[in-house]
Amino acid sequence: MGILLRARFAEVGVARCARNPCRRSDPMPDRRWMSVLALCSLACAAVPPAAPEFLPSPETESLGLPFSDAVRVGDVLYLSGQIGVRPGSLELAPGGIRGEARQALENVRAVLERNGSGLDRVFKCTVFLADMADWPAFNEVYVGFFPGPKPARSALGASGLALGGRVEIECLAAAGSPTHGAR
């Protein structure tokens, strides 16, 4: 960014000289701008990046699973993919794609709420489907969890999901308190 700004300042200086070829009336503004630019660069460099905070749940830890349910970096929660297992178990919810999708989204909601966020703060979802033919049935369940503005979303077919599941959903959400009640 500093290089781009310096190039822009150089352009301005050339334009000024082109307008007033005989004299350059005040060379000081260029020096002042460069000082401001240097101070801004130092201020940006002085802010360290946020350290990741790993947020496993007691259920995940008790099952010995090798991941955290979420990781907070700054103001963003990165959720691990959630499949349609009943809380505290490795048993898939009954009901095929609809039952698993509902349970996976309930699991997403639980992770968000446990970490001070909510479904209304989700801004991106990635959906993995074992069979893309399940797309319409999954969408029927999904819209019930996001009745308002929908998060950005990607979906793809997967040749195998954990525990033989039919769907896995990972989300990114703004950290903090939900602005609306639980859905």
CA distance 7 to 13: 10
What pLDDT was estimated at residue 3? 46
Measured CA to CA, the distance from residue 179 to residue 133 in angstroms comes to: 35
Name the helix (H) or strand (E) containing 60: helix 58-62
Threshold 0.85, pTM exceeds: no
Q: What is the DSSP string of 88-109?
A: TSSPBPSSHHHHHHHHHHHHHH
Q: How confident is the model at residue 24 (pLDDT cuts 50, 70, 90)?
A: low
Give me the CATH topology for the region 53-174: 60s Ribosomal Protein L30; Chain: A; (3.30.1330)
Residues 145-183: tens digit of each pLDDT: 999 999 999 999 999 999 999 999 999 999 974 454 333
Q: Which of 51-65, 113-127, 159-173 is the least confident region?
A: 51-65
Contacts of 9 (CB under 8 A, 6+ apart): 30, 33, 34, 37
Query: Is pLDDT of 22 > 70?
Result: no
36 confidence band (pLDDT: 50, 70, 90): low
In order of 21, 37, 118, the CA distances from 182 in angstroms are: 67, 45, 7
Separation CA 79–CA 63 (nearest Å): 18
Q: What are the boundaries of each domain within the chain?
A: 2-46, 53-174
